[in-house]
Amino acid sequence: MPASPVAEQAVEISGLVKRYGDRAVVDGLDLVARPGAVTAVLGPNGAGKTTTIECCEGLRRPDAGTVRVLGLDPVDDARELRPRVGVMLQDGGLPTGVPAAQMLEHVARMYADPRPLDELTERLGLGSFARTTVRRLSGGQRQRLALATAVVGRPQVAFLDEPSAGMDPQSRHAVWQLVRELRDEGVAVVLTTHLMDEAEDLADHVVVVDHGKVIAQGSVRDLVSSGDDRTLRLDATPGLDVVALTAALTADGPGVTTTETSPGSYAVVGPVGPTTVAALTRWLAEQDVLATRLTVGRRTLEDVFLDLTGRTLR
């Protein structure tokens, strides 16, 4: 049998286009994912994240561009890739009439060296619903089972589509811990998410996608650091005059931008300092508006997204 091509990158996507009808939902997307790293594809609903991942999983054929997973074509080389790639679909994608434990045992039997099932069961808390059929599992339970089936075969690449969606905080942390360990074992983990904290906590590399295109990428640190910029967050009455507020904040200080991110929530981004806060509280007092929350902190990925698109992620 010829040796598999040696790939430095676990996943390489170049100029990917996927159309539904005449609409390109993925529109010239480039992405690279390394072994031993978590790559998070971050973007709002409908950005094209799932479609991109489905092209990597061989579930959809690109209309243009190339996708390589471990140097192979996900559609043409599906048989060779199957034992080396783990997939967690957004809707679980599992047969519904089988009890959870039986499902996991069945999947494990397909691999030469599966992970110990008792350990995986314990870690992801699968024991409490082992005998329940997939159909009757809650959304979060189904997600945990889907994750277990994705990683039980010790894949070299794991595609996880919104791995912690719908989970309670305890389960979410168990999932995050497992993802970190996969990374430490050398697995290339590619996950989609629209949860900022998930990307900030887990990702070595973040790819921000909007309208089927990459609009920014880098480490979280690269993306959020921008000189002395900080974000001042303010909760107050909806509909404040942000133009007048920005003018008041920049009158005797450096330039900042002000946005009402959702009704009654505002973000002031820029070199926010003590004079900015003083000017803000003075302006609010003049308008007879009470701030119910005021914080100053470092920029987040949410701020980056807001800067790039003028919209919030959710």
Ligand X SMILES: Nc1ncnc2c1ncn2[C@@H]1O[C@H](COP(=O)(O)OP(=O)(O)OP(=O)(O)O)[C@@H](O)[C@H]1O
Determine, following the binding rule CB under 6 A, whether residue 95 of this chain makes contact with ligand X.
no
Stretch touching ligand X by CB under 6 A, among 48-56, 108-116, 169-177, 305-313: 48-56
Determine, following the binding rule CB under 6 A, whether residue 45 of this chain makes contact with ligand X.
yes
User: What is the tally of helices (H) and strands (E) in the chain?
Assistant: 11, 13
Determine, following the binding rule CB under 6 A, whether residue 50 of this chain makes contact with ligand X.
yes
Q: Let me know: does 158 contact 189? Beta carbons within 8 Å.
A: yes
Tell which residue, 75, 70, 48, has the closest CA to residue 59: 75
Q: Let me know: does 129 contact 171? Beta carbons within 8 Å.
A: no
- Cα(36)–Cα(40) distance, integer angstroms: 13
Nearer to ligand X, 19 or 115 (CB): 19
Smallest distance from the beta carbon of 107 to ligand X, in angstroms? 24
Nearer to ligand X, 41 or 137 (CB): 41
Stretch touching ligand X by CB under 6 A, among 40-48, 179-187, 270-278, 281-289: 40-48
Determine, following the binding rule CB under 6 A, whether residue 171 of this chain makes contact with ligand X.
no
* Binding test (CB under 6 A) with ligand X, winner from 49, 68, 172, 299: 49
Stretch touching ligand X by CB under 6 A, among 7-15, 44-52, 141-149, 226-234: 44-52
Nearer to ligand X, 171 or 192 (CB): 192
Nearer to ligand X, 55 or 284 (CB): 55
3-state per-residue secondary structure call for 157-220: EEEEECCCCCCCHHHHHHHHHHHHHHHHCCCEEEEEECCHHHHHHHCCEEEEEECCEEEEEECH
Furthest-apart CA pair in the chain: how many Å? 78
Smallest distance from the beta carbon of 50 to ligand X, in angstroms? 3
- Cα(41)–Cα(218) distance, integer angstroms: 11
Nearer to ligand X, 55 or 240 (CB): 55
Cross-strand bridge partners of residue 133: 99
What is the binding site for ligand X (CB under 6 A)?
20, 25, 43, 45-51, 194
